[in-house]
Amino acid sequence: MSLRLTSAVLAGGIFLVSACASAPPAPDAAPVALGTAFSEGLQEVAFDTEWWTRFDDPQMGSLIARALAANKSLDVAQANIRLAGSLARSARLNRSYGTSSSAGANVGRSTGAGQDVEASATGNIGASWEMDLFGRIDAEIAAAEFSVQEARQLRRDVAVIVASDTALAYVTLRSAQARLHVARKNARTQLEGLDLLQSLFANGRATRLDLERADTQYRTTLASIPRLEASIQTSLNALAALTGQPATDPDEELGRLVLETDDIPEHQGAILTGSVESLTRRRPDIRAAEAALGRQMALGEAARAELFPTIVWNADVFALFNPDNSVGDLSSLGFGIGPAIQWAGPDLRRVRANIDASDARTEAAIAQYEVTVLAALSEVESALTQYVSELRRRDDLESAATSARRSLELARLRFEEGVDDYLDVLDAQRTLLDAEDRLAESRQQTSEAAIAAYRALGGISEDADDISSEPN
């Protein structure tokens, strides 16, 4: 399957005017081979734009909804949409007639003795209309409308980033909380073991080496706690910024997250990728690149139109008012109508230079579109591969953690029966702590890989952008 860039651009509903036969031809877009499928093992069915619901975590969904409503980066992008819309409306006005008016007054008298004061006034009303014979105005309007499309897609791109960053910060928070819980639980167990060893050492049933190793293990576990606490606070700060709040004064909802110890949210079921072709129509950066290419092609058409004359029809009505005549007096009224022709003349070198420059920018836009598509496909494949790989790693670590728990139980039982010394218990504790910590980390990375996959797939609903209210 392939996608020709010109077709993708014209599918937006704006067809650029054709240049006259004497104008240099516009560069054409080369096809981009897309392939037919994503990674094996993933369901290529309709893509779920509200992908965060598949983590089955209402708190995550609530935070993402708040971020999409209050994030300041989205406010900036929304302002850019309004700006592009205003410029588009201004460009469309060039298709209609323009009006102008002026008025003036004069009062004075001559320097001679006995002269009366004389007063007069003038007024003028005019209208003009440019005949768009060679498509310059239509091309400029098309370019402006493509700019609006690009601004809207760039806002969607920001929304995709905001949603995924919020989900990532939330997952990092829950992971740090889970790992902190594991560290504190193991620290309590190790402290109990250290107290037991001290009693055994006093009774000669344990060595100084046993005691020092137990203390080292306990202190190492304690040392991991401040780093995890800092990670929790850093995640809360990130969530505050993403939801438009100062990190120094977050609301109650974020405050409750500090006290909660919910499990790490994990993706439920298969990732719904959709088709490869649907990706090119869904990812906002690809659609923004299409719009940028369309805008540049339209500007190229406008540049070519400068090779030909510009014809403007002007109509004026003017009047002179003074004590010697009155309104309606033919001597006080006048009007004029006729065309004005502007042309670059025989020296068109500057115009052709502008055309060459525009063609170069168009070729760059084509190349950028191809880069964007290829990068998107690579990003999706890498994210899906990472997700599948992390799923397998998580399953193995779950088995390892289960085995480590059984090993610790057996080591304690053998120590109580006098078969083994306490070094075996310490070793089993250390193995379990490492297995549980690795498992929590892998669960975090699995969720992060799923989020990255949805981010690469361009997951966000068109309705998530508050752009429908923008005037045309």
The pLDDT tens digits of the residues spanning 232-245 come to 999 999 999 999 88
- 142 assigned to some structural domain: yes
pLDDT of amino acid 217: 86
Give the list of residues 6+ apart from residue 384 with CB closer than 8 angstroms, or none: 38, 39, 42, 271, 273, 453
Range of the structural domain that residue 315 is part of: 48-104+119-464
Query: Which of 282, 302, 310 is closest to 362 using CA atoms?
Result: 302
pLDDT of amino acid 472: 42
- 23 assigned to some structural domain: no
Helix (H) or strand (E) holding 311: strand 310-321
Q: Which residue has the tokens 């997700």?
A: 387
Give the list of residues 6+ apart from residue 263 with CB closer than 8 angstroms, or none: 174, 178
pLDDT of amino acid 63: 92
- 267 assigned to some structural domain: yes
pLDDT of amino acid 333: 62
- 255 assigned to some structural domain: yes
Q: Looking at residue 442, which CATH number applies to its domain? A: 1.20.1600.10
- 281 assigned to some structural domain: yes
Q: Are strands 310-321 and 118-131 parallel, antiparallel or unpaired?
A: antiparallel
Query: Which of 201, 159, 168, 187 is closest to 421 using CA atoms?
Result: 201
Spans in the chain with pLDDT lower than 70: 1-48, 96-124, 126-130, 132, 261, 274, 276, 314-336, 338, 340, 345, 460-472
Side-chain half-sphere CA neighbours of 175 within 13 A: 23
Distance CA 150, CA 277 (A): 20
Give all strands of the β-sheet with 98-108 in edge-to-edge order: 98-108, 118-131, 310-321, 333-342
> Can you name the residues that pair with 103 across neighbouring β-strands?
123
- 450 assigned to some structural domain: yes
H runs (alpha helix) in 105-207: 136-202
- 313 assigned to some structural domain: yes
pLDDT of amino acid 123: 62
- 237 assigned to some structural domain: yes
C-beta separation of 384 from 273 below 8 A: yes
Distance CA 468, CA 148 (A): 12
What does residue 353 show for φ and ψ, rounded to 5 degrees?
-65, -40
Domains: count for the chain = 1
